[in-house]
Chain A
């Protein structure tokens, strides 16, 4: 008791010091708020955030708070924060579709390349360049590409193997290609396909032309009025040397390449190589066509690989193989989602510290192990045993990947194209009419 009395002054001083110091110590830990879109990507990122907050935040002094607005209201709420110039959140969730229109609200990362561990000019970045390019506008990098999607050519491995080895099937294939496509073709390994091979194979596996076909339709094209579907078709356009714009940046959708690319889809629709209700197909319908054994080949998003080969939900699991897209150069569009620094953020340095962790292989490996697909070659190839499609994703986006033109109007352009082309695929418009209207629509969008 006497001791307590004697030391009471020390105790009071210590408590006072603690009262003063604790908030100061707490404030040394900066919290950055990061918007994410709820879904598989946020589930995977949540694991990385948890690890970072527990193990690394004490060293960096930065804690991360992931904010989920809800799948439906995400865009509206995020854009409201941007338009208000608010610093309510520090990090925005961006994608290759919308980064072009957010450049007034997202700070370029170029001045922070060194702090992000990417070297002074970004050349030491671990991210595959085609993915970084999808979040870049006019040489400025506006975000870290944390998750990537591309397209694969999916095919029934068992059926294609037989086609490549059975002389009767091969003869029939060649005869059908000559009769309906007017071309001399022989079955080839899907790795070497162009779109003639794709059409001929779809023809061979359509019962109407080949009653012995194990599948009713050769393929299942995604023709719904949905921007993701025109992204698949863009690969065909790129394979024929086309683009939305010419080298001078002028709209060039009304081109021979676009006509050829539209012709590929139209020919398959005309010959009924794809089911009659394909006009309303998107990702799940094409998966269903493959899973139910009704179609033999498909152009599809790489994310489908796991679902198609999951024995719990796919009767053809183990029989579905994937390779790069057909055509010259095997072009596949690379779509990235990632994070960008809010230009109005008051915690920019703290955000860069968090981003510098995300720019490491350790962070991206954790993200991939949690289900994400980071565009980091070493991580994707390293996980090949657990997820066989990832090494192919790495090769495809590195070797064959291209970024769609990133502009403030990317979404508007995609919407205008799918409106025109889905009308062609539905037989409502002619190819020429749709290309002419698409040219006018794009010129209006870009010029307006």
Chain B
């Protein structure tokens, strides 16, 4: 039902023409906008097609063939999903999956908890200079390449020339950090020392976004530090915590560099992560079909938490607190 104004406009014959023109212009503007948006995203879409979709499609194709370096240039036999079946029934793959899960489940909560503790500590500093210096110092390990960190620890843990071994001996602590009994935990400790700055940075940013008036009001109402932390800080950091845990969890699951440089996946296959397993399949065994199948299985394992991470990141960006 048309409004009185519209009826008047229709009656005097002005609106339909003007309205149609305006509507057409609006539609044209909208289409132009859509077209502009589309054209602006075309380079990105092409870029993604080139560097993500095509390699993924190619890798999937390889995973369905019995490909090695010898037959890559020829016509490798099509084997359907045999590579996937072989990987899934390979005890070494399942061991590597178990190691990666264990690694992720242990280091992620510790890194997030340490990151939170450090963030709360640094946020409590009154001096801006003190905060800036603390943030810079805490971030230092994160700025170093994981391979370099691993090489540094390889030297520090060396039984003859390493500083850590020296002090363990000096204090008569009967631990050999790289022995089969402790090597897994040594790797975890190194990862925690290097990667804790990441959740720290996210959570420190989150803490800074919390309105200080909430803390002042709580203090006036007589709330203690623990109550304030439990009732204000933690709930308002919830999304930051989830994002930090998801991102770190995903990274921990695909850990490669420190293991490659420090233990090579050994002793035996004791520290072989999924990434190490795939690396060995590709570059030692030269079995590219097998390796691509393992990579796709890894992708499947990671896709759900990855989507969750992106969802929370977007939600976090839209609603900071």
Q: What chain A residues lie within 8 Å of B265 (beta carbons)?
A: 225, 419
Residues of A within 8 A of B (CB-CB), count: 45
In the complex, 12 of the A-B residue pairs with CB atoms within 8 angstroms, ordered by the A residue number, are A79-B69, A84-B73, A101-B68, A101-B69, A104-B74, A225-B265, A276-B159, A288-B158, A288-B160, A409-B286, A412-B286, A419-B265
- Cβ-defined contact, B179 with A277, below 8 A: yes
Q: How long is the Cα–Cα vector from A253 to B200 in the complex, in angstroms?
A: 51
Question: Does A29 belong to the interface (CB within 8 Å)?
Answer: no
Which B221-254 residues have a C-beta within 8 angstroms of A? none
Q: How long is the Cα–Cα vector from A76 to B270 in the complex, in angstroms?
A: 27
Q: How far is the CB of B235 from chain A (nearest CB, A)?
A: 45
- Cβ-defined contact, B160 with A276, below 8 A: no
Tally of A-B Cβ pairs under 8 angstroms: 116
Question: Does A285 belong to the interface (CB within 8 Å)?
Answer: yes
Q: Contacts A412-B284, A426-B266, A428-B267; is A277 near B69 (CB within 8 Å)?
A: no
Q: Contacts A275-B159, A288-B160; is A419 near B73 (CB within 8 Å)?
A: no
Of A84, A422, A423, A427, most B-chain CB atoms within 10 Å: A422
Question: Does A378 belong to the interface (CB within 8 Å)?
Answer: no
A76-B283, A277-B176 known; 9 new pairs, CB 8 Å cut-off, are A101-B69, A101-B70, A225-B268, A279-B180, A411-B285, A411-B286, A412-B286, A420-B268, A428-B180
The interface residues of chain B, by DSSP majority, are classed as loop
Task: Enumerate chain A interface residues (CB-CB to B < 8 A).
Answer: 75-76, 79, 82-85, 101-105, 223-227, 275-277, 279-280, 285, 288-289, 292, 294, 408-409, 411-412, 414-415, 418-420, 422-429, 445
Q: What chain A residues lie within 8 Å of B266 (beta carbons)?
A: 224-226, 279-280, 418-419, 422-423, 426
Q: What chain B residues lie within 8 Å of A418 (beta carbons)?
A: 266
Q: How long is the Cα–Cα vector from A415 to B265 in the complex, in angstroms?
A: 11
Q: How long is the Cα–Cα vector from A225 to B266 in the complex, in angstroms?
A: 5
Q: How long is the Cα–Cα vector from A83 to B264 in the complex, in angstroms?
A: 27
**In the complex, which range does the number of interface residues on chain B fall in?**
35 or more
Q: How long is the Cα–Cα vector from A275 to B178 in the complex, in angstroms?
A: 11
Question: Does B263 belong to the interface (CB within 8 Å)?
Answer: yes
Q: What chain A residues lie within 8 Å of B180 (beta carbons)?
A: 279, 426-428
The listed residue (B176, B267, B284) touching A227 by CB distance below 8 A is: B284
List 10 A-B pairs, minimum CB-CB distance, nearest first. Answer: A225-B266, A423-B268, A426-B267, A415-B284, A412-B285, A83-B72, A426-B180, A277-B178, A279-B267, A225-B264
Closest-by-CB residue of B relative to A83 is: B72
Q: Contacts A104-B73, A412-B285, A427-B180; is A226 near B264 (CB within 8 Å)?
A: yes
Of B68, B266, B286, most A-chain CB atoms within 10 Å: B266
Q: Contacts A280-B262, A422-B266, A426-B268; is A415 near B69 (CB within 8 Å)?
A: no
- Cβ-defined contact, B285 with A279, below 8 A: no
**What per-residue 1/0 map shows which CB atoms of B169-187 lie under 8 Å from chain A?**
0000000111110010000
The listed residue (B73, B159, B286) touching A101 by CB distance below 8 A is: B286
Q: How long is the Cα–Cα vector from A408 to B264 in the complex, in angstroms?
A: 23
